[in-house]
Every structure is written in structure tokens, then in C-alpha cells.
Structure 1
């Protein structure tokens, strides 16, 4: 179990992480989502033992993880951090990059383990190529394979999907899921895009200005965000003042200036209504995302499989869910 206890870290007059606590359980995946500058990378360095906290501590299996000022070589033997830049050795093969992490093991086990990792990470066909000869997804998987080679307790990843195209994103996402299941490694990754985080994480956290503003099961965080920021960081959403709910046929609210959250899938296109007009249609493959103007101040997103819609068409919207989530701000 990896635990952060009231961590804070500042650089000059900028607070990167502020009074942050979290617990990563054994054999689980945690994803932390936040915008650029929210403290994601700083937090990873604190958790990995590569940066000293100003306040607070990190503990692994109830033992404190020392910072770089306390040890000769920064880091922890049971925690691995994979950076965005991969940090592979450029002039040796994929296989040799992975083998290097096992250089202190006997050759028979080293060869067995490298073969196992090449299979698990789908790198067997490119094992003899150097990093500049493989794709971004293959570099990412090589970095992950090297990081887990000696079976650490915790794997930390900084934006593991940010440089990848869609096919490679799916491969890396599935790899992380399989690692936790087959290798019993706990995984925590940070990202600015919740799309992949929602699909594989056991726990999802929302970071803003170095604070953990919400954490919980992905379904709960998605359906019941505590703030407009949390709602927007977890996917398409309509955030509007409650006083506009009557445009959807709902009664006047008691708190007209309060914010409410409606996900696009909670809405459905209807027959042309009073004042409703399609502003734009965005084809997404299996569905379309439609922006509908209900008034000068209200434009809502709706998901639909209809393919006969055009910008400018009159349209109505109705609410198909009784759940309206009220936000704190």
C-alpha cells in the first residue's frame, strides 16, 4: 500500500502540491486527472522519492519513503516512475533496454524474464531494434517493461497516453490493465484526459492547483462531480445555471444562480421545440455530438445516433434522466 500523508511542495512562490493525501491499495489502478500546471508531475516525483516534500510524508507498506536529500541514490527500490520522455538508452536494442534493469540477476532468470516481458508488452517483433526505429507506442511499452522488470510494488506513470495515436492508446491501456492482473503491480498514472482513466482505473482523482478536489470510484466521480472543474475534466458535460432548467420543461428552482451538471447522455433530441436550433453537429464515429441552442445564453451538448441532422435545423431537447447534479462551483 502506497500512502501520501498531507504532502505539500512549493517552488519559490508557486505551490505545486498542497496538503494532499491519498492511498493506493495493492493490485489496484489509480488515475489522477488534472489540467496542465495542476501538480501532477510534482506529485509523482514526491511519491517516487525523487523530490523532498516541504510538509508531509510518503509511506510504502507503512515504511516512510525517504527523499533525495536523505539517500545517496534518489528513488525507492519498490517504486518505479515512467516519465513522459521514456528515458530509454538510445543506442541499444529494445531487448537490451529491458535487460539492463535485470543486470544483477542470474542470466537464466534474466533471459526468461525478458522474454516474458517482451510477450506481455507485445514487443517480441521489435526486440532487436533501437528506440529510434520503433513507434511511440513501442517506446512507451519498452519503458513500462523496463520499469516492471524486477517486479516493483508500485508503478507510476506520467501522462502515459499523451503522445500516442488511438491504436497505441488502446494497446497501452490494455497493457496497464493486464499488468495489475497478471503481475500484481499497483499502478498510479496522471493524465489530463479522463477518457482512458475512466475505463481502467479502480479509483479516479481530480487534481486542481495542487489539491485533490475529489476522489472515488470513476462512475461516482463522473456522475456526481463536486465542482464544475471536476465535471469538465471527466468528459463532455453541460454546466448551466439552475434558472435555465425551465427551458427543459422543469420547474423554477429555489436557487436560480446555483450551477447544475447534465451529461450529454442524460438528454435526448425531440421534436422541434420553441426556440431550439442546432448550432453544430460533430460526427464521432458510432454517434454524433450535437450542440443545441435553447436561448441566447444556453447551448447544450447532446449525444445521438441520428444521421440526418444539420446545423440550423429547429430541434427540441428533453431530459431522459431524473438525476440533476448540483455543483459547488
Structure 2
């Protein structure tokens, strides 16, 4: 449905986006994950038609998405953007903010559609509040409701989870699922693309994840592909906690030297376990309680420490433990 081909963009001597290509299908959720300054928001604005690319093109249903230098009003009518700072009108209510997006529609339809969106976005109880009286989650949901008030082909979100507490993050996650399933009349469901620096939400909600680093799309795949088979150390670390070792340290960890000594090897904490008969001994340096389980920092040697997860609640700092590493889960990450 949407294709971005060989996009590049520079600001003065800084290359913000470098030869990025991606595709997005109707009803699909894609997440772009990268550190601050990696070019995520710039790419989003180019796809939305709010910023001109230096090279490359964006097409929606085969038609060219034109940048602001060639149109009177920037943006594409079928591509909606939810900015990071919401950009709600401060002096009217939440209901009126959503209603404004439908101002050219007949009154009866407009009222019914606003009621539908308020219910979908869980805003009925605060619909008469002004944005300054609303929480961050309520303002985020209002911005999303306003963006999808009219039928849209693509919904773009810039860091939709960044200002939210855990309960509101879960609400927004569920809402995005609802939106990509929603069909208005004979319109297909919209596609959703969001950018984030925190992969926690991306892994749980996205169909595809792209890893962006210094303006380049380094890897793209399903959440499981990117999490369990990252191509680089950066991709591994952007998608969650990971132990990174040199190949020469595998023997210290009780593993056969199956990789070159200078290669980087990754292993997720969930693939290391405490075991009374484990082949490797270590000393617990720190215990980080996470609810159902704890994360342990275990020093194995002068130069090697590992992070692992355990459901045991009797482990303390200073304890001597034995551990087992699942060699079948080692990841070559450059």
C-alpha cells in the first residue's frame, strides 16, 4: 500500500536519512526503533509529506506523496500524523478537538462519529475537559482519535508511548490494535507506523520492526526475528537486555569455542539460568527485583559478568552461585 524507496535527507553537512526503503500494508503495524537522533522523526515527516527528501520517493496506492515545496498545504489527505507533543487546541474540550477534525461533515454523522471515537479511545468520562485538565494518556488518545476521525490509509505516530505511565501505555497499545482492525464503510483498515526509542512496546504490538541507526535502516523483520537474530550489537541492545561477549570468553562461560575469538556474541538474560549443577561458578554482584522475577548481575571472572533472570527469591548480593548458559541461543552479532 505504502512504499518508501531510497529516501535520503541531509541538513547542512549532517546526513539524517540515508537510502532508506520500506513497505507498509493495510492493517499492518510497523515500528521503527532507534536511539535519539537516529533519524526516526525525520523519516516519519518525509513519509507524511511534511518534509522533502533530497532523494527517493514515497508512494501511497501507487500515487506519489508530494513534499511541501510542491504543494500549497503540506501533507497528504490520507496520511495522518500524531506528533509527539499532541498539538491539541488548548481552549476547547476534548470532544470539540475531535469534532473539529470532522467540521466539514453533516452534523448528525459528525456527532455519531465523535461518540464512536470517544468510546473507542476511552475518553467518554473526560470528553468535556480541556486538554490542560487531561492526563498525558488522555491527551495522547485524543490526538489519535482526531487523526483517525476521517478515514485514513496510514496513521503515523511519533513516540506515542514516551510520556506515558504503564497503565496508559497498555491502553494505547490496545487502541492501536483496535484501529488497525477497524473498517469504515468499504475502506480497508489503516496501516500504522510508529517510531520509538524503547523496543518494549514495539516487540509486543508490531508486525514488523525496523532498526534505524544514524539514518540507516540496519535491519527489518518480525519482532521474533529481530529479537532472536539481531544483525548487529546495536540492534541487539535496542531490542532488549542482552549479554555481549567476545568469542574468546566462551570457554570461561562453559561453552565450546564455536566462534572466532574477536567476534561479538550475544545471549539474552532469559537464556542463562541458575543451576546447582551448572558448569560455571560466579558471585552475585547485584539483584534487581522486577516483580515475577529478578535480574541478577553475576561476575564469572575478572573480565566477564553476565545478566540473567530467575524466579528464585532467596538470592542475595555476595552469594556464590552456579549458572548454565544455553549455547543453542547464542547470537552472532558482528
- Aligned-residue RMSD, C-alpha: 1.1
Kindly state the Cα deviation for residue 247 of structure 1 after the two structures are TM-superposed: 2.1
The 5 A counterparts of 1:124-203 are: 124-183=124-183, 184-203=189-208
1:146 and 1:64 mapped to 2: Cα distance? 25
| TM-score, length basis structure 1 | 0.98
**Farther off after superposition, 81-90 or 268-277:** 268-277
Match of 1:278 in 2: 284
1:19 and 1:171 mapped to 2: Cα distance? 35
1:122 and 1:273 mapped to 2: Cα distance? 52
The 5 A counterparts of 1:45-60 are: 45-60=45-60
1:83–1:158 contact (8 Å) kept in structure 2: yes
2:259 and 2:101 mapped to 1: Cα distance? 62
2:281–2:323 contact (8 Å) kept in structure 1: no
1:46 and 1:144 mapped to 2: Cα distance? 20
Match of 1:298 in 2: 304
1:30–1:204 contact (8 Å) kept in structure 2: yes
Which of 190, 209, 213 does residue 208 from structure 1 map onto?
213
Instruction: Report the secondary structure of 1:50's partner residue.
Output: coil
Which of 327, 330, 334 does residue 324 from structure 1 map onto?
330
Moved over 6 A (4+): none
Kindly state the Cα deviation for residue 305 of structure 1 after the two structures are TM-superposed: 0.5
2:33–2:199 contact (8 Å) kept in structure 1: yes
Instruction: Report the secondary structure of 2:30's partner residue.
Output: strand
Match of 1:41 in 2: 41
Match of 2:270 in 1: 265
Match of 2:122 in 1: 122
Match of 1:63 in 2: 63
Kindly state the Cα deviation for residue 251 of structure 1 after the two structures are TM-superposed: 1.8
The 5 A counterparts of 1:194-273 are: 194-271=199-276
Kindly state the Cα deviation for residue 68 of structure 1 after the two structures are TM-superposed: 0.1
Match of 2:19 in 1: 19
Kindly state the Cα deviation for residue 253 of structure 1 after the two structures are TM-superposed: 3.5
Taking structure 1 as reference, are residues 36 and 136 closer, same or farther at Cα in structure 2, changes over 3 Å only? Answer: same
**Cα shift readout 1:70-89 (whole Å, capped 9, x = no counterpart):** 00000000001111100000
2:61 and 2:4 mapped to 1: Cα distance? 11
| TM-score, length basis structure 2 | 0.96
1:7–1:18 contact (8 Å) kept in structure 2: yes
Instruction: Report the secondary structure of 2:175's partner residue.
Output: helix
Match of 1:309 in 2: 315
Taking structure 1 as reference, are residues 120 and 254 closer, same or farther at Cα in structure 2, changes over 3 Å only? Answer: closer
Kindly state the Cα deviation for residue 274 of structure 1 after the two structures are TM-superposed: 5.8
Instruction: Report the secondary structure of 2:18's partner residue.
Output: strand
1:267–1:321 contact (8 Å) kept in structure 2: no
1:288 and 1:68 mapped to 2: Cα distance? 51
5+ residue gaps, structure 2: 184-188
1:273–1:315 contact (8 Å) kept in structure 2: no
